[in-house]
């Protein structure tokens, strides 16, 4: 099974930039999209009916903001749109598809750069997820988490760590949260297969950073430890354009 995750930075814009060609060429079993910036009813019927994927959307209350979507060829047995907490669900950041043998969390994590209140919100979201997962894995131990986490974990995960150590996205408290997630029984799939530097998933548009590969690895696939022997590959599709992020993916036998 191939699962891909991509922060498209606006799904309507992505469609104009070749998103359907990407779907055709990669043909994932499941695609998780973040930062859709659109409600389902704002998309064309032609797109909504395209392909053999069932398409599920979660939108923010605020128009043109946030939002996630999951396209899946495998029929989920249940869908959870959010955590059931208004504070977080109002921003349309979480979509959980539950299958027979695993559950997939598609999450667009908050960005903490704008102001201190948003950093607090981000950390609240982070720690609530840890609590949620502790209870959730009692009923389903096979968990895949993917999305834009908005934090680079280690110095190898961004081009200029020293210059950014006081910037949200590489703050110690944010990086320590990833440590806590891993210590709670999850694995960063990309680092199972690749320990090399210069592998990034986001580049700043304004400075044309992608041309120089001055980037950050802030998009992830995490799997719970019971799935460790099922994972066959994890990859970054850095040549795919259309957003300031590139797609990432895993191949897993499940």
End-to-end CA distance of the chain: 7
Q: Which of 21, 135, 148, 157 is catalytic?
A: 148
Measuring CA to CA, which residue among 49, 56, 58, 60 is closest to residue 31? 56
Residue 27 annotated as catalytic: no
90 and 60 Cβ atoms separated by less than 8 Å: yes
Q: Do 80 and 96 contact (CB within 8 A), yes or no? A: yes
Q: How many CB atoms lie within 10 A of CB 132?
A: 17
Q: How far apart are CA 88 and CA 196, in angstroms?
A: 35
Q: How big is the CA angle at 170 (ends 146 and 119), to the nearest 5 degrees?
A: 80
Question: Which residue numbers are catalytic?
Answer: 148
């Amino acid at each position: 099974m191939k699962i891909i995750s991509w922060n498209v930075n606006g799904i309507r814009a992505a469609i104009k930039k070749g998103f359907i060609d990407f779907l055709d060429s990669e043909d994932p079993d499941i695609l998780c999209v973040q930062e859709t910036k659109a409600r389902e009813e704002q998309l064309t019927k032609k797109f909504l009916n395209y392909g053999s994927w069932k398409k599920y959307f979660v939108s923010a209350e605020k128009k043109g903001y946030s939002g996630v979507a999951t396209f899946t060829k495998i029929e989920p047995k249940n869908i959870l749109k959010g955590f059931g907490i208004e504070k977080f669900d109002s921003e349309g950041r979480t979509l959980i598809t539950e299958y027979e043998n695993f559950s997939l969390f598609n999450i667009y994590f908050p960005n903490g750069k704008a102001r201190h209140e948003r950093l607090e919100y981000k950390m609240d979201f982070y720690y609530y997820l840890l609590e949620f997962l502790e209870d959730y894995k009692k009923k389903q131990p096979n968990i895949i988490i993917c999305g834009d986490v908005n934090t680079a974990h280690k110095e190898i995960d961004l081009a200029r760590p020293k210059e950014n150590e006081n910037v949200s996205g590489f703050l110690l408290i944010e990086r320590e949260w990833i440590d806590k997630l891993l210590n709670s029984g999850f694995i960063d799939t990309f680092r199972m297969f690749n320990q090399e530097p210069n592998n990034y998933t986001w580049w700043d548009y304004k400075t044309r950073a992608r041309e120089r590969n001055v980037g950050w690895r802030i998009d992830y696939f995490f799997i719970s430890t019971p799935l460790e022997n099922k994972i066959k590959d994890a990859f970054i599709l850095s040549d795919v354009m259309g957003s300031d992020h590139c797609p990432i993916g895993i191949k897993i036998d499940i």
